[in-house]
Amino acid sequence: MTRQTEQNRTYDPSKVLPPGAAIGVLGGGQLGRMMALAGSGMGYRFVTLDPTPDSPCGQVADRQIVAPYHDVDAARQLAELADVITYEFENVDADVTKLLMAESYVPQGSKLLYTTQHRLREKRAIEAAGVKVAPYAEIGSVEELREAVRRFGTPCVLKTATGGYDGKGQWVIRSLDEVQEAYDTLSRARTELVLEQFVHFTKELSVIAARSPRGEVKAFPAAENVHVNNILHLSVVPARVPEEVQREAERMALRIAEELDVIGLIAVELFLTADGELFVNELAPRPHNSGHYTMEACRTSQFEQHVRAIVNLPLGDPGLMTPVVMVNVLGEHVQPLLDWIAKPEAEQVPGVTAKVHLYGKQEAKAGRKMGHVNLLATSHEAAFRWIEASKIWDAI
């Protein structure tokens, strides 16, 4: 039995929603788009709520409600149209979440959102699950920050407890001289701050785990992730780490999924140190960028698995069928990618099959995630040869 009591549960372990049911998606971005593409092939219908007309998810869903996320009337409309509701991002308005849980079926519930929306709550929940996180300290004043920096040493990382992604909402403190400026800058967010001891890692890994209301849990193979400018650049699978490290990373993710009573997916990001220790960095209660490789490389994609979990179908086999490198396509890479895939030589790198996914976003801005490419390959080296030959990511 997990830490949650029966009274805290928002899901029904015996409730199964068969194909034909309508799935509501709070959020209309690329994660919702790929979820809808996977689920519609299974026979489910989709309705999404997003403020941007013709959103990536709205382009492929049966219907889009165009309204702000905090619009209670729009949320009520979503509840009326959907048999089950899921979300594709964490920053869901609390009032909207409360309404949806009262008027619709939201098996993911609000407790996990409440936990993962706040870095301090998240770290405490991970520790309570018996899984290690890097040393951290809650910061309430510049004096507390200065004392914690002395204790942890530099570099260390100051973060806002809420908000922030892709490197936003954080400051790498490299000397005591930066303490005042770092505190003044991040405290403007008017939220708690947390200081994390810098982990001298050799690899960044992530594992996507799934859990259904019936209690079934499964984990996808661990991905090795490379970030550039705090944005995920590529994921390498299988991760280039010893097999026992892969197994331990997957075990940690499954334990978190069970102990936090997850329904749907949970992405667990980890640091691997030189001496083989694994520390959890962050959680994301949804499909994740580092799991996009599963779309062609695994027997079941993360998006199909998420749908299976929230409707309480048996979970699919997450097994890996081929080595794969997933590489992100940012705004500055779109035109070079379009030029490259039109050339015959794009398909002539031996041992590589490239699967291109573009998200349907209207404006290609530099640094904005616009798509990804899954390189199914006989080896990682072959995939890297394709990346080098394309010259798309030369600046990186």
Tens of pLDDT, residues 127-143: 999 999 989 999 999 99
- Report the alpha-carbon distance of residue 305 to residue 153 in Å, rounded: 42
Tens of pLDDT, residues 344-369: 988 889 999 999 999 999 999 999 99
Nearest CA to 159 out of 132, 178, 136 is that of 136
Whole-number percent of the chain with pLDDT over 70? 97
> Same domain for 302 and 247?
yes
- Report the alpha-carbon distance of residue 233 to residue 396 in Å, rounded: 9
> Same domain for 233 and 342?
yes
> Same domain for 189 and 148?
yes
Alpha helix ranges (H) inside 189-333: 243-259, 294-297, 302-311
Tens of pLDDT, residues 20-39: 999 999 999 999 999 999 99
Give yes or no for residue 3 having a pLDDT over 60: no
Q: Consult the annotation and say whether 281 binds a ligand.
A: yes
Q: Consult the annotation and say whether 58 binds a ligand.
A: no
User: Mean pLDDT over residues 79-106, rounded?
Assistant: 90
Detail the DSSP E strand segments found in the chain: 22-26, 45-50, 63-66, 84-87, 136-139, 156-160, 170-173, 193-197, 201-211, 217-219, 223-228, 231-237, 264-273, 278-284, 324-330, 352-358, 369-377
Residue 8 lies in a domain: no
CA distances from 221 to 58, 207, 236, 300 (A): 30, 7, 10, 12
Residue 10 lies in a domain: no
Tens of pLDDT, residues 177-218: 999 999 999 999 888 999 999 999 999 999 999 999 999 999
Give yes or no for residue 92 having a pLDDT over 90: no
pLDDT reported for residue 211 = 98
Per-chain mean pLDDT for the chain: 94
> Same domain for 224 and 356?
yes
pLDDT reported for residue 93 = 80
- Report the alpha-carbon distance of residue 48 to residue 87 in Å, rounded: 9
Q: Consult the annotation and say whether 168 binds a ligand.
A: yes
Tens of pLDDT, residues 228-264: 998 999 999 999 999 999 999 999 999 999 999 999 9
Residue 11 lies in a domain: no
Q: Consult the annotation and say whether 197 binds a ligand.
A: yes
Residue 395 lies in a domain: no
Q: Consult the annotation and say whether 224 binds a ligand.
A: no
Residue 267 lies in a domain: yes
Q: Consult the annotation and say whether 198 binds a ligand.
A: yes
Detail the DSSP E strand segments found in 41-123: 45-50, 63-66, 84-87
Q: Consult the annotation and say whether 199 binds a ligand.
A: yes
pLDDT reported for residue 89 = 87
Q: Consult the annotation and say whether 374 binds a ligand.
A: no
User: Which tokens hold the place of 329?
Assistant: 């396509």
Other Cβ atoms less than 10 A from the Cβ of 303: the count is: 24
Q: Consult the annotation and say whether 7 binds a ligand.
A: no
CATH of the domain at 173: 3.30.1490.20
Whole-number percent of the chain with pLDDT over 90? 87
pLDDT reported for residue 164 = 65
Residue 126 lies in a domain: no
CATH of the domain at 32: 3.40.50.20
Q: Consult the annotation and say whether 118 binds a ligand.
A: no
pLDDT reported for residue 165 = 60
Residue 290 lies in a domain: yes
Residue 191 lies in a domain: yes
Give yes or no for residue 4 having a pLDDT over 70: no
Q: How many CA atoms lie within 13 A of 51 on its CB side?
A: 5
> Same domain for 274 and 211?
yes
Full residue range of the structural domain in which residue 72 is found: 22-107
Q: Among residues 172, 197, 222, which one ends one of the domains?
A: 197
> Same domain for 221 and 359?
yes
Other Cβ atoms less than 10 A from the Cβ of 252: the count is: 25
What is the pTM assigned to this prediction? 0.93
> Same domain for 212 and 193?
no
pLDDT reported for residue 2 = 41
Q: How many CA atoms lie within 13 A of 384 on its CB side?
A: 7
Give yes or no for residue 6 having a pLDDT over 90: no
CA distances from 337 to 234, 340, 343, 393 (A): 15, 5, 10, 9
Give yes or no for residue 1 having a pLDDT over 60: no
Q: Among residues 180, 197, 214, which one ends one of the domains?
A: 197
Q: Among residues 197, 213, 230, which one ends one of the domains?
A: 197
Tens of pLDDT, residues 329-345: 999 999 999 999 999 98
> Same domain for 190 and 217?
no
> Same domain for 53 and 151?
no
Q: Consult the annotation and say whether 170 binds a ligand.
A: yes
How many structural domains comprise the chain?
3
> Same domain for 257 and 382?
yes
Q: Consult the annotation and say whether 277 binds a ligand.
A: no
> Same domain for 193 and 209?
no
User: Mean pLDDT over residues 61-65, rounded?
Assistant: 98
Q: How confident is the model at residue 223 (pLDDT cuts 50, 70, 90)?
A: very high
User: Mean pLDDT over residues 87-94, rounded?
Assistant: 84
DSSP annotation of 339 reads: H
> Same domain for 43 and 163?
no
Please return the burial class of 153, using the count of CB atoms within 10 Å of its CB with bins 0-12, 13-18 and 19+.
exposed
